[in-house]
Amino acid sequence: MDLVQMQKSLQDYTKSLFLEGILDSQFLQLQQLQDESNPDFVSQVVTLFFQDSDRILNDLSLSLDQQVVDFKKVDPHVHQLKGSSSSIGAQRVKNACVVFRSFCEQQNVEACHRCLQQVKQEYYLVKNRLETLFKLEQQIVASGGMIPAVELGF
Amino acid sequence: MATKSTGGTEKTKSTEVKKKLNVLIVDDDPLNRRLHEMIIKTIGGISQTAKNGEEAVILHRGGASFDLILMDKEMPERDGVSTTKKLREMKVTSMIVGVTSLADQEEERKAFMEAGLNHCLEKPLTKAKILPLINHLVGA
């Protein structure tokens, strides 16, 4: 694939993430903050999100597996995940966390288990898609090209 | 005339001292700290971070001062409300901007404002949200 094709693929791929609602405009904000003096800013922030989220999801699994679920421990974790997903523009993860929190408030253990699965699903989806995005960017840079700006046009 | 750079200040040819905005970012989330650092950097400011309110109080006790403090609400050790109250008791006159979540209730936001905030902004923070406050500070 030549450079122009790679750049077009990246643009189309990035657009699809927005069209599917996986990312929202906050991700664009991150990209706009990246510059020559901080060329890896977006991947640094996203890496922090992945590290945070892996830990939180593990803690949530443990907390919800207890015989007596302590929602005072569960809710802050979900709140934190909601915050960090919102900060990077991981819209579907954020939305899944909003639903999760409402069931935490109701102390509905069964529903919380279902919510956790949904959050995990959305998280692994955005993680997978962002890792692919960064690989495409790296390929372009390795070929001597520039990362094109994405124009969403909607 | 040669220019001299000392920390966050520069002396230019005119008598006016150009001062970079000095910001304290108080947030327990490393992701948010990084994001807010970058926002401040792109608008020409310099920043320092604190992982929670207690660290922020300790910094001020040590003599640090800032033009602007971005204060997260929910933090371990000492939360944003308690930290804001404490800093105002310590006669800190910096602009303190609270950073809240959409999920925060109106009463919680009100209590945060009454603790001594100048403004409250909702997460996630963006350049567009912070810039009007910075312009107000710089213009003041």
The range of the structural domain enclosing residue A126 comes to: 3-31+41-143
Q: What is the pLDDT of residue B103?
A: 65
Q: How distant is the Cα of B9 from the closest Cα of chain A, in angstroms?
A: 21
ipTM (interface pTM)? 0.82
Q: Are B52 and B30 in contact (CB under 8 A)?
A: no
Note whether residue A120 is domain-resident. yes
Note whether residue A148 is domain-resident. no
CATH number at A19 reads 1.20.120.160
Query: What pTM was computed for the model?
Result: 0.84
Output the average pLDDT for chain B. 85
Q: What is the pLDDT of residue A104?
A: 95
Note whether residue A153 is domain-resident. no
Q: How distant is the Cα of A75 from the closest Cα of chain B, in angstroms?
A: 12
Are A87 and B39 a contacting pair at CB < 8 A?
no
Note whether residue A117 is domain-resident. yes
Residue range A96-134, pLDDT digits in tens? 999 999 999 999 999 999 999 999 999 999 999 999 999
The total domain count for chain A is: 1
Note whether residue A25 is domain-resident. yes
Are B38 and A83 a contacting pair at CB < 8 A?
no
Q: What is the pLDDT of residue B104?
A: 72
Note whether residue A66 is domain-resident. yes
Note whether residue A152 is domain-resident. no
Are B30 and A79 a contacting pair at CB < 8 A?
no
> A53 to chain B: nearest residue by CA?
B31
